[in-house]
Chains A and B, each alone.
Chain A
Amino acid sequence: MVDKVKKIQSGDVRSASRLIRHIEDNVAEARSTMKDIFPLTGHSHVVGLTGPPGAGKSTLVDGLIDAFRKMGRTVGVIAVDPTSPFTGGAILGDRIRMQRHAEDPGVFVRSVATRGALGGLSRAVGDAIHIMDVMGKDVILVETVGTGQQEVDIMHYAHTVLVVLIPGMGDDIQAIKAGILEIASIFVINKAEREGSSKLRRELVTMLNMAPESAFPGGWRPPILKCDNAFEPSGFSQSVSDLALSINEHYEHLVSKSLIGNWSARKAATEFNEAIRCAILDPVLNDLMANGELDAMIGRLVNKETDPYTLAEEIATRYLKKMT
């Protein structure tokens, strides 16, 4: 056990990727390994990237890897893609855009599927962040599609949250979950050479102007950065380096204004929430599923023989002695 943790601390990719796999597969021993991992965390700067599909997040991550490597920092990437609700399978294609870094020992890219609808995603991602942290990655980039509550939860693990938008997607801003706008540290207008870029910028400025001062802890007003066409190599890498600098600045801001504590509390709450659910709800549901009771209950609900509230109270009474 301790051996495993030591290996991860030394940066061993095999042990780390295997542990992440076991977390995803819900292997019991993995959870106890995480107990040893947790106290060792706290080294990395975690950066979340979210935004609508097609916003060019993976290409941006690829550029950021480059920029941080040039600063001499090691990078971990967690790229989240959706699982098909119909088949339970997934095609994880984000790393295609990052494959040029595959052989760089200072870069570790891991694709993660959202898997079941019951949650657990943000736990798996949270644990993967911890594992990369303990490996010693200086920056951890977490990429998700900003559409659901789970993704909002994931962003709670990030010190710095990038909301990536592109011009001409219609109601760009409305398309993003409100919760994510609230935690945005930096807005990125990607593919900024496209028509509608200034309009998008104006909309963001208006939105920020309407927000109360309390929305900007420590006085950090999210900057709005533009990234030009990724197909213009020199222009793109310049704007991505600027973005990397802005990401660093945000972290320094958190440190200098002693805001890391706020962030830690937010993260801890999310993490704890997940852990409790995992410790309480999952076993209960598994138990009910194993003996077929869950199906029977659903049948009763469909036939209106009972209501969900009464049923939930019954379950709580049965499993949570202390509460009754």
Chain B
Amino acid sequence: MYFSKEVLESSSRMRQKWEDEVKKVIAKGPDQKPRWSTVSDLEIKRLYGPEDIQHMDFEQDIGYPGQFPFIRGNQPTGYRGKYWTFRMFSGMGNAKTTNERWHMLLREGQTGLSTAFDFPTLMGYDTDSPKARGECGKCGVAIDTLDDFMQLVDGIPMDQVTTSMTINPPATVLWAMYCAAAELKGIPLTKIGGTIQNDMLKEFIAQKTLMCPPDPSVKLVSDTVEFGAKHVPRWNTISISGYHIREAGATAVQELAFTLRDGMEYVEDVIRRKGLHVDAFAPRLSFFFNSHSDFFEEIAKLRAARRIWAKAMRDRYKSQDQRSWWMRFHTQTAGCSLTAQQPYNNVIRTATQALAAVLGGTQSLHTNSLDEVLCLPSDHAVQIALRTQQIIAEETGVANTIDPLAGSYFVESLTNELEEKAWEYIHKIDDMGGMVAAIEKGYPQLEIADAAYHFQKQIDAGEKIMVGINKYVSAEPSPIPLVEIDDTVEIEQIKSLEAVRRKRDDKAVKRSLEDIKNACKKGDNVMPHCIEAVKNFASVQEICDVYREVYGEYRDPGLY
């Protein structure tokens, strides 16, 4: 940043005077604690001034919205053209219950849909699998076949509303169901829009929704990227996710670095395996970040993310198309920051985290409900969470102007610091031979485990505060109504799965599963075959079993 010699000199003089004052005050009584740091334990100075950002180059490092390095946003108009998408993650019980929740949210002013699946679906098992016992509908919606999926999207205008699906190993299958459902409703694939999470690397690193080993997993991801680039142009085929990395205990820097390095790994794989030009698919890559409790650290993280990605796309991958340089991302407030103790405090946590996400320029946002730390959210709790976004958008005035914190000594300095530290990690992973190699070595997993343990120790020692946990603890219980998914959901779901199996054409199912198997073996794109198979009512598990058979099952090495 350009500061004249005079400004820097007077700043230096005034700083000296201020420092002397500080010393005097401290001599009389020390600060409340000796070390002040972010929730990620990044040390923060008492004050930031012009000298902290004097080496910045305005054109290269800051610039304007819609211009490189996009730190101030991708869109020249900011939130004036369109607020971020209010997208609440939801799914519970069976398809019918979830469909009802979706219609409720759309009535309440939600602008995009987001699907939570239950664990059997997430792991590629049918509800009647022995491994699925007790899990049906517990943390999301149970989907076994296209029959369920048609109920899920009943009455949803698929050509008008975009839908995000948090699905990873079976992403090809659930996306195939979405495509098949659209076709059955007479909507062409070119008209549907949405996102599949489909980010397998972060599963190995953090969330452990695992099916096949890393290499074939990335192959399936590349299949979807290619299919999307050719046939479903409005679809985001990967949402490269830092959210789960952060929830697993990573610091903000680790979230930033591992997520972006994952993104680079996918770019490199699609170029290598599919022979596509970077600009043929990179504009459809999207990202997903966590917004944690440390207000400025989160804002700086999101700003840094945009700048790192723009630099990487332009310089590392020689992309020519600005749309490839844009980092487009969804944000979710931090589930791991919520407390079961004094649960109404979670409303406040979520509000400040959401505010940070907006000041960081998110394009889409989920706000956690106050009861999500205990169960699936109730209608009432979801409504408060959605209203939190609407209040930020339409009452606080923060959306009036673009990137209002730019130029702040502290925010710019912190943005720079996070970026530098992230590049250190990225280069280290490059040296290991890329993210797949690093994961096989257990590198990111162990870094995160270290950070998680360090944080827990700080909580136990009272060095970091969680209100209601290690400070301002209340003996009074504050019960809230909890949503329960009762066990009849599982019984009913199994019954309807059996009914589908009875009525479908078994020969057609067998044939289409065989086609998927051949595609896997030959290295062909599985997507067209998956769409065919789901139309024949092949189940999620039947297709995933083909993947497991051909590619093998991955077992977590369980590094600690």
What residues make up the interface of A, taking CB atoms closer than 8 Å to B? 54, 91, 93, 96-97, 99-100, 231-233, 236
Contact = CB atoms under 8 A, between A and B. Distances in A.
B558 A93 contact: yes
Given A231-B213, A231-B214, A96 B552 contact: no
Contact of B554 (A91, A99, A231): A231
B557 interface: yes
A93 B552 contact: no
A97 B214 contact: no
A198 to B, nearest CB: 18
Contacts of A96: 555-558
B215 interface: yes
A100 to B, nearest CB: 7
Q: Is the interface of A mostly helix, strand, loop or mixed?
A: helix
Nearest to B560: A91
Interface residues of B, number: 15
A100 B441 contact: no
A208 to B, nearest CB: 29
Which of B214, B558, B560 has the most chain A CB within a 10 Å cutoff? Answer: B558
Interface string B533-560: 0000000000000000001111111111
A239 to B, nearest CB: 14
Contacts of A233: 551-553
A177 to B, nearest CB: 23
Contacts of B560: 91, 93
Given A97-B555, A99-B555, 8 more contacts: A91-B560, A93-B558, A96-B555, A96-B556, A97-B558, A100-B555, A231-B552, A233-B553
Contacts of A97: 555, 557-558
15 contacts: A93-B558, A93-B559, A93-B560, A97-B555, A97-B557, A100-B555, A231-B213, A231-B214, A231-B215, A231-B216, A231-B552, A231-B554, A233-B551, A233-B553, A236-B552
A232 B552 contact: yes
A54 B216 CA distance: 22
B242 to A, nearest CB: 25
Contacts of B552: 231-233, 236
Q: Is the interface of B mostly helix, strand, loop or mixed?
A: loop
A54 B441 contact: yes
Interface of B: 213-216, 441, 551-560
A226 B555 CA distance: 22
Contacts of B554: 231
A235 B441 CA distance: 21
A310 to B, nearest CB: 46
A253 B498 CA distance: 56
Nearest to A168: B433
B16 to A, nearest CB: 45
A227 to B, nearest CB: 14
Contacts of A99: 555
Nearest to A94: B558
A232 B215 CA distance: 10
A196 to B, nearest CB: 12
A287 B522 CA distance: 70
Nearest to A95: B558
A96 B557 CA distance: 7
A64 to B, nearest CB: 16
A232 B553 CA distance: 10
B450 to A, nearest CB: 14
A54 B437 CA distance: 13
A78 to B, nearest CB: 19
Contacts of A91: 560
A54 B551 CA distance: 23
Nearest to B212: A231
Contacts of A54: 441
A16 to B, nearest CB: 25
A134 B270 CA distance: 55
A185 B560 CA distance: 32
Contacts of B558: 93, 96-97
B436 to A, nearest CB: 10
A241 to B, nearest CB: 16
Contacts of B214: 231
A231 B200 CA distance: 15
A54 to B, nearest CB: 7
Contacts of B216: 231
A145 to B, nearest CB: 15
Contacts of B213: 231
Contacts of A231: 213-216, 552, 554
A298 B425 CA distance: 46
A233 B547 CA distance: 12
B556 to A, nearest CB: 7
A233 B112 CA distance: 41
A157 to B, nearest CB: 27
A214 B475 CA distance: 76
B47 to A, nearest CB: 39
B214 to A, nearest CB: 7
A100 B556 CA distance: 12
Contacts of B556: 96
Contacts of B551: 233
A294 B414 CA distance: 55
Nearest to B556: A96
Which of A99, A100, A233 has the most chain B CB within a 10 Å cutoff? Answer: A233
Nearest to B213: A231
Contacts of B215: 231
Which 10 residue pairs spanning A and B have beta carbons closest together? A233-B552, A231-B213, A96-B558, A91-B560, A93-B558, A97-B555, A231-B552, A93-B560, A231-B215, A96-B557
A174 to B, nearest CB: 21
Contacts of B441: 54
